[in-house]
Amino acid sequence: MKKSKFIRIDYSVLSSSVGRSATVIVFALIVALALGALFLEEDDMAHVPIAIGVCALDSARSWVALGSLADFAREKGVGDITWRYLDADASPAGCDFYLMTSIQGAPYIADGSLECALIATVRQGVRYARGGVVARSGMDLEALNGGAVIFTSPISAAGYLSPYEALGGAGYGGGSTRFEFVGPYMSEEAVVFGVLFGAYEAGGIGLERLDYLEQLGIVPGGALTVLLEGDPMPEMIIAVETTVEPRKRHGFCERLPLILEKMPRFLEADLAGIGISGFVSPRQEDAALLESISDWINDHPVSPEDPHRYIR
């Protein structure tokens, strides 16, 4: 009769071996997790505080849209955004970034104290706004002789600079034509109603904003006609302090445009209300245009003592 052959296992040795292996594996996992957390912390933007000064818009018009944008950006790991509202003519100070018009930002970009970080698009895929001069349907340029033109704001490229230059090119840059502004901040509604109700013969406005007001039914279709169309220009930008740490700057500027490509409909509608559809990185030609805007501002100062600077 054959004896069965059994393999004898020394469980004490096996237990000791497994224990050592498990210890090594657990230790390796702890080290890997620690290193991963270290690198993740370096790349994680979700809790990085980002202060953005709002120079282009007043809080009454923009706080809902910008609040929704901050919540969405925080949720998507772009940063913990805080909006700080500044006067339209105040010097930018105390923030990391600034939401401002190209007219506001151009002088600071020219002197090197700020850099253009992002350009706000006015429609999907369209980074420049078209400025134009509008009047009541049936009117022509002759009505501007001795008349008045109301502009959106002295800080608006599409609502002032572009239509102003178009008027000058058509021979209405001065003389008997009177120019006024709605106020320090942009208000396209005041422009169209001032023209529709006959208080002004014409108005300077961003034509994308006019399209938007017509789509909402605020302006009846066909009630206004475009007399002149000016050169397209960037309306709003996000400028950055040159002292902002590169990690914060790059993380914010790279991620914000990406998350807005897939923003929810409610945020899209909120941002459309303040004239923003998204953000894009500046190009070399954008920098050249901002430089030319700075030169234009130096040649066309708006005096605070001018009695027709704003509507009273």
pLDDT along the chain (312 residues), means of 10: 47 49 51 41 71 95 96 95 94 96 96 96 89 94 88 94 93 77 89 94 95 92 93 97 93 96 96 96 95 90 50 35
Q: Has residue 68 been placed in a domain?
A: yes
How much is the pLDDT for 147?
Answer: 87
Shared domain check, 102 and 139: no
Q: Has residue 96 been placed in a domain?
A: yes
How much is the pLDDT for 124?
Answer: 80
Shared domain check, 283 and 158: no
Shared domain check, 180 and 102: no
Shared domain check, 192 and 208: yes
Shared domain check, 214 and 135: yes
Shared domain check, 218 and 72: no
How much is the pLDDT for 41?
Answer: 40
Indicate the residue among 217, 232, 247 that finishes a domain. Answer: 232
Tokens of 93: 């100070």
* Total residue count of the chain as it appears in this document: 312
Indicate the residue among 200, 232, 264 that finishes a domain. Answer: 232
Neighbours of 132 (CB within 10 A): 25
Are 292 and 162 a contacting pair, CB within 8 Å? no
Domain that holds residue 171: 129-232
How much is the pLDDT for 5?
Answer: 47
The DSSP code for 309 is S
How much is the pLDDT for 25?
Answer: 54
Q: How many domains does the chain have?
A: 2
Q: Which helix (H) or strand (E) holds 82?
A: strand 80-85
Shared domain check, 241 and 225: no
Q: Has residue 3 been placed in a domain?
A: no
Q: Measuring CA to CA, which residue among 156, 135, 158, 157 is closest to residue 147?
A: 135
Shared domain check, 239 and 122: yes
How much is the pLDDT for 174?
Answer: 61
Indicate the residue among 212, 232, 252 that finishes a domain. Answer: 232
How much is the pLDDT for 269?
Answer: 96
Q: Model's pTM, two decimal places?
A: 0.82
Which pLDDT tens digit goes with each residue over 86-118? 999 889 999 999 999 999 999 999 999 999 999
How much is the pLDDT for 48?
Answer: 92
SS3 175: coil
Q: Has residue 36 been placed in a domain?
A: no
| Cα of 255 vs its chain's centroid, Å | 14
Q: Has residue 242 been placed in a domain?
A: yes
Are 122 and 277 a contacting pair, CB within 8 Å? yes
| Cα of 25 vs its chain's centroid, Å | 49
Integer angstrom CA distances of residue 73 from 48, 66, 157, 263: 11, 10, 27, 10
What CATH number does the domain containing 92 carry?
A: 3.40.190.10
Phi, psi of 134 (to 5 degrees): -115, 150
